Amino acid sequence: MVDYIGTARLRELVSLIGPARFIEALAGEIDADYRRWHEFEKSARLASHSAAGVIELMPTSDGKLYSFKYVNGHPKNTAVGLLTVTAFGVLADVATGYPLLLSEMTFVTALRTAAISALVAGRMARPASRVMALIGNGAQSEFQAIAFHRLAGVRELRLYDADPHATAKLVRNLTRLQISDLAVTRCASTMEAVRGADIVTTVTADKCNATILTPDMIEPGMHLNAVGGDCPGKTELHADILRSKDVRIVVEFEPQARIEGEIQQLGGSGQVIELADMLLTRQAARSNDREVTIFDSVGFALNDFSALRYLHRLNAEHPDGGQRIDLIPEPDDPKDLFAGLAHDRVPARRRRFA
């Protein structure tokens, strides 16, 4: 039997400790895993692209546990009432190859993306950063808002989305959370939202080389959390922002970011820092308060590994409501797999053809 976390169980686990604390704990797991970066198998994700979107597999292992995530990105799905991103993941035991956990990861992807965004901003943004512009107010936006308030000290959000209904949705959900020390302002343009911001998070969904931020919008000392550009031909920052000599760029895994991140616009040029090197203090997060820092985040398999391992442990710590599924056969004789299909082994209530 294999542990199973569906959407209902995930909601239970998050509600047990609250979304902010859940994200904070998840950020701690991610931080710890990046600090043992050398233990992990690393590869760019396997992507299948179409005109409509992308389907990807994201595997990694630390030699003891193995994980993978299946995830899609289809920006036009919302027009027909479907989510842009859906995902599920598996955590397995390397010694036996047996899966330990099958989990939903649509919610989890949003949670872990917010966790790593705020984790990195807490190190790269200026210490006194309190104002964040949030450009793109869709499915990821609430998670980013909660994470940056909890982990990075943000106390004012300046919101903009080309779709005013998305912004209204975000404001409504943030109001329900009753975060008393978080001010929220709706803005009429990206330019208005970023003016005076310490941190700018871009989390848009269109699969195109969009220009969400241009050089004239960037102020000295800003930290840019570029989340929305995450596949070939999908970016958010004008290339001249990346080419500036006063910019420091951090990525999760450089070979993947060169294909899918903002830095795909630079070809093979431009110096970047991998997150593990920054966390292990081999590279500074920023050199001074006027330097512009960028986290070019496309999502990496290690983030999902951390999330799945955390979920597996949390699920075991709170067994009430947990489920297990018969994903793997359990024959009496492991060399006689065929016997497990025998008619007399199937419970009567499951027999469809009597």
Q: Residue with structure tokens 């999908």?
A: 234
Give the CA distances from residue 3 to residues 60, 100, 148, 236, in Å, rounded to whole numbers and listed in that order: 20, 6, 31, 38
Q: What is the DSSP string of 173-188?
A: HHHHHT-TT-EEEE-S
Of 299, 319, 339, the position where a domain reaches its end is 299
Provide the residue range defining the domain that includes 181. Answer: 114-299
Check: CB of residue 224 under 8 Å from CB of residue 231: no
Instruction: Give exposure, 160-174, as e/b (b: 16+ Cβ within 10 Å).
Output: bbeeeebbebbbeeb
Do residue 220 and residue 293 come from a single domain? yes
- Is the full-model pTM beyond 0.85? yes
Do residue 103 and residue 227 come from a single domain? no
Identify the CA nearest to 278 among candidates 120, 140, 148.
120
Give the CA distances from residue 329 to residues 39, 182, 311, in Å, rounded to whole numbers and listed in that order: 31, 51, 24
What confidence score (pLDDT) does residue 354 get?
38
Do residue 101 and residue 200 come from a single domain? no
- Asked if residue 339 is part of any domain, the answer here is no
Q: What is the CATH number of the domain that holds 155?
A: 3.40.50.720
- How many residues belong to the chain? 354
Query: At CA 50, angle to CA 71 and CA 57, rounded to 5?
Result: 25
**Residues linked to residue 249 through DSSP beta bridges, in sequence order:** 294
What confidence score (pLDDT) does residue 282 get?
84
Do residue 173 and residue 232 come from a single domain? yes
What confidence score (pLDDT) does residue 351 get?
41
Element (H, E) at 57: strand 54-61
Do residue 174 and residue 262 come from a single domain? yes
| Cα distance between residue 227 and residue 235, in whole Å | 9
For residue 321 the two structure tokens come to 């409501």
For residue 298 the two structure tokens come to 């496309």
Check: CB of residue 207 under 8 Å from CB of residue 180: no
Q: What is the CATH number of the domain that holds 86?
A: 3.30.1780.10
Q: Of the residues 33, 230, 296, 304, which is catalytic?
A: 230
| Cα distance between residue 13 and residue 307, in whole Å | 13
CA dihedral sign of residues 91, 97, 99, 104 = positive
Render pLDDT for 33-49 as a digit per residue (tens, 0 to 9): 999 999 999 999 999 99
Number of domains in the chain: 2
Do residue 154 and residue 291 come from a single domain? yes
Q: Residue with structure tokens 């302002």?
A: 185
| Cα distance between residue 261 and residue 226, in whole Å | 9
Do residue 172 and residue 232 come from a single domain? yes
pLDDT along the chain (354 residues), means of 10: 97 96 98 98 94 94 98 92 95 98 97 98 96 96 98 98 97 95 97 98 82 96 92 90 95 95 90 95 90 97 98 95 93 91 62 40
Do residue 159 and residue 270 come from a single domain? yes
CB count within 10 Å of CB 241 equals 23
Identify the CA nearest to 185 among candidates 91, 52, 197.
197
**HSE-up (13 A, CA, CB side) for residue 241:** 26
Do residue 283 and residue 319 come from a single domain? no
Q: How far apart are the first and last CA of the chain?
A: 27
Residue 216: DSSP 8-state = G
- Asked if residue 335 is part of any domain, the answer here is no
Residue 80: DSSP 8-state = G
Strand-strand pairing, 46-49 and 54-61: antiparallel
Q: Residue with structure tokens 């989510």?
A: 83
What confidence score (pLDDT) does residue 344 get?
61
- Asked if residue 81 is part of any domain, the answer here is yes
What confidence score (pLDDT) does residue 346 get?
57
Render pLDDT for 136-166 as a digit per residue (tens, 0 to 9): 999 999 999 999 999 999 999 999 999 999 9
Do residue 144 and residue 213 come from a single domain? yes
Do residue 122 and residue 82 come from a single domain? no
- Asked if residue 349 is part of any domain, the answer here is no
| Cα distance between residue 324 and residue 32, in whole Å | 28
| Cα distance between residue 312 and residue 158, in whole Å | 36
Reply yes or no on whether 230 is catalytic. yes
Give the CA distances from residue 179 to residues 11, 129, 183, 184, 301, in Å, rounded to whole numbers and listed in that order: 20, 18, 9, 10, 32
